Amino acid sequence: MKKKTIKIPIYFGDLTIIHSDGWEEVNKKYEKQSDWSSPLDNGYEACVFPAHYKSGYTQYVAAFKRIPKGSTIAHECVHLVNHVFQDRGLILDMYNDETQAYLTGWFFDQIEKFFNNIENGK
């Protein structure tokens, strides 16, 4: 399993990106901190979830079983943004969506860079 954790600017919390062949390690590590009601299923290619800690700290986890296509990254970024907005009490505004667009782009760039580094052996 490879992973990288990055501080999320402005909104606080961390983004943790994971590349794993299966979900066993991910399930074991996050089962107590996440909001899911059941473990990740091997049918999932990718998954996003928040891990909330008693201290108030939030880690947003984006986990992938294979190197994703851009469309998969974009799909998961929508979920990430929605989790951050929900946790911070922000309302998505369809008429003033720049904050949503910037955060989506930032998440996409971080995930794309992570996988580019894996593909390039870094």
Q: What is the dihedral of CA 38, 48, 15, 3, to 10 degrees?
A: 80
Whether the per-residue pLDDT at 36 is higher than 80: the answer is: no
Residue 119 and residue 47: Cα distance in Å, rounded?
Answer: 20
C-alpha pair distances (Å), 33 with each of 36, 42, 50: 9, 20, 8
Q: What is the pTM of this model?
A: 0.93
Each residue's pLDDT tens digit, 11-22: 999 999 999 999
Residue 8 and residue 13: Cα distance in Å, rounded?
Answer: 6
